[in-house]
Amino acid sequence: MNGFQAFAEAAFSLPGISAKPEALKGIRVIELATRIFGPVTSDYLGEFGAEVIKVELPLRGDLMRYVAPQGFFWKEVSPAFLSLNRNKLHVAIDVRLPEGKDLFTRLAEKSDVVVENLRAGTMDEWGIGYLQLRARNPRLIYAANSGFGQWGPYSQGRASYDATAQAVSGMSAITGFPGRPPVKAGFWVGDYTGALFSAVAILAALAARRRTGEGQLIDISQAEAMIRTLDWTWPYAGKTGRDRERAGNLDVALPPSGIYRCADGFVAISARDAEEQAGLLKAVGAAASGPAPAGEGDGLSPDRIAGFAAPRTRAEILRASEEAGFSAAPVVGGREQYHDPHLRARGTVWELDDPLYGRIDEYGPVPKLSESPGRMKWTAKPVGYHNEQVFGGLLGLSEEEMESLGRKKVIGKWADVPGARPPRNE
């Protein structure tokens, strides 16, 4: 092991993480959000030590609780809900009732960040929007996540999901194969992308607040986030007046880089510079039975790469890439990731022991920080699970006050349905 590897294995050791400090310790986030865009924004902050209080409506809570792949609930909870809500405190308040608004406002007074993803203006109508909360807590950073923004022609009344952002941004139009319809990504990429942009802006606003002492409003549209990620699409449209076309699995900015079918699946082949193209040409040329076609560049046509890849396994192509000096990587799915020792050694597949559910493996934090690493502490909980801890501990309500609020249905817990309720004793 060389010097760097020794350093890295020590600096990023998984068993060492729990003894290290957390980057965002002391930051409190209140989440009033449903489904993915808002909950994931605060999830990313919670992974790095922010205390996230997830506020749901009593009984049924976040509607994402009922999005279950093939209708499957595990221990009364959907695996799709678990992966969006880690390290959170779950409380249930009916914020539409006056006493509920008051409770929410009291939480926001003690918080650094609010994350919401309701339709633009809803929180303001309810009396708990940015302006009302800022009057009580000028240090508050308020992330308003929406489909089309808090202002502008499309901002009023239009709802948005992940695929709205995929669709209206132009992303789907450039994804898929020529002559085939545009492709909707099979995962909720429009939500996660928006959420990551939102979380980045919250961290930037925290940096600004360290200097100024003041919070601010962040208006982030998930469609606008997707627009920002479409790389050369916009200057190309500006220069040529044309639409960028779907190019299938070929990266037309770096040909013949792309995804190719091989003997046991699919593989990505990449040659991003002259050195790698020479390496790829060498490998393809050595493999070809006949002479290389005449003419510059033909040796690396996508057809030729496809012919090279087709009879070989992913492992053979990876080996060839290392020998010849181009890059390759297998196309993998969840099963291979789940069993991948590399991902487990990095905590990217995180082995979480949850106090309520037991062992539940998840995708872990993405950036690995050597001094103040992220971590998974617990997974999502039933509706209202942490009411006493938050209302009693943080807000100082007495048991009688909580009972009274419960009777008035201002606060509450789970409905007795899969998705909302705790696991059953076996």
Partner 1 sequence: MSDFSDWAKSATDPRQAASMPEALPGLRVLEVCPGHFGGMVAASILSEFGADVIKIEPPGGDPSRKYAPEGISIGGTGLPFLSEARNRKFVTLSLAKGEGRGFFRRLARGADVIVTSEDAARLEEMGLGYESLSAGNPGLIFLALSTYGSFGPNARRRVKDADILCQALSGAPYIVGEPERDGSDPPEPHQAPTRLGNWHASFVEGLWGAFGVLAALHFRAEAGKGQFVDVSGAEGLMKFADYNITWMHTAGKERQRTGNFDPAVFPYTYIRCKDGHTFIAAYNDEAFESLMIIVGRPELTRDPRFSTPASRIRMENERVLLSILEEWSGNLTADEILRAVEDYTSKKSGPGAAVVTGRVNRPLETLAEANWRERGCFARMDDTAYGDLLLAAPPWKMSGTPARIKSVCRPPGADNMEVYCGLLGLSPAELDSMSLRGIL
String marking each residue 80-99 x if it binds partner 1 according to CB under 8 A: x-xx----------------
Tokens of 53: 């209080």
Smallest separation, CB 104 to partner 1 (Å): 16
Is there binding between residue 124 and partner 1 (CB under 8 A)?
A: yes
Look-up of token digits 């493999």: 287
Is there binding between residue 120 and partner 1 (CB under 8 A)?
A: yes
Smallest separation, CB 369 to partner 1 (Å): 6
Is there binding between residue 414 and partner 1 (CB under 8 A)?
A: no
Is there binding between residue 328 and partner 1 (CB under 8 A)?
A: yes
Smallest separation, CB 88 to partner 1 (Å): 15
Q: Which residue lies nearer to partner 1 by CB, 363 or 392? A: 363
Q: Which residue lies nearer to partner 1 by CB, 57 or 397? A: 57
Could you count the other beta carbons within 10 Å of the beta carbon of residue 378? 17
Q: Which residue lies nearer to partner 1 by CB, 292 or 366? A: 366
Helix (H, G, I), strand (E, B) or coil at 260: strand
Largest CA distance in the chain: 87
Is there binding between residue 294 and partner 1 (CB under 8 A)?
A: no
Sign of the alpha-carbon torsion through 359, 356, 81, 391: negative
Of 416, 422, 420, 411, nearest in space to 92 by CA: 411
Smallest separation, CB 27 to partner 1 (Å): 8
Structural Rg of the chain based on CA atoms:
25
Is there binding between residue 367 and partner 1 (CB under 8 A)?
A: yes
Q: Which residues, 17 to 36, sit near partner 1 by CB under 8 A?
A: 21, 23-27, 34
String marking each residue 235-254 x if it binds partner 1 according to CB under 8 A: xxxxxxxxxx-xxxx-xxxx
Applying CB under 8 A, which of residues 85, 111, 321, 387 lies at the interface with partner 1? 321
Backbone angles phi, psi at 361, to 5 degrees: -85, 145
For residues 249, 251, 257 and 262, what is the CA-based torsion angle, rounded to 10 degrees?
Answer: 0
Q: Which residue lies nearer to partner 1 by CB, 187 or 396? A: 187
Q: Which residue lies nearer to partner 1 by CB, 161 or 378? A: 161
Q: Which residues, 129 to 188, sit near partner 1 by CB under 8 A?
A: 129-131, 144, 147-161, 163-177, 180-188
Backbone angles phi, psi at 349, to 5 degrees: -100, 110
Amino acid (one-letter) located at 12: F
Of the listed pieces 262-270, 286-294, 386-394, 406-414, which binds partner 1 according to CB under 8 A?
262-270
Beta-strand relationship, 28-32 and 113-116? parallel
Beta-strand relationship, 113-116 and 141-146? parallel
Annotation marks residue 162 as catalytic: no
Is there binding between residue 213 and partner 1 (CB under 8 A)?
A: no
Q: Which residues, 39 to 78, sit near partner 1 by CB under 8 A?
A: 44, 48, 57, 63, 66-72, 74-75
H-run or E-run covering 188: none
Q: Which residue lies nearer to partner 1 by CB, 293 or 358? A: 358
Alpha-carbon gap, residue 115 to 68, rounded angstroms: 24
Smallest separation, CB 326 to partner 1 (Å): 8
Buried b (16+ CB within 10 A) or exposed e, 277-309: bebbbbbbeeeeeeeeeeeeeebbebebbbebb
Q: Which residue lies nearer to partner 1 by CB, 263 or 369? A: 369
Smallest separation, CB 398 to partner 1 (Å): 31
DSSP string for residues in 69-92 = GGG--BTTB-HHHHTT--SEEEEE
Residue in 94, 191, 219, 354 annotated catalytic: 191
Beta-strand relationship, 265-270 and 327-330? antiparallel
Residue 422 DSSP symbol: P
Smallest separation, CB 403 to partner 1 (Å): 27
List active site positions. Answer: 191
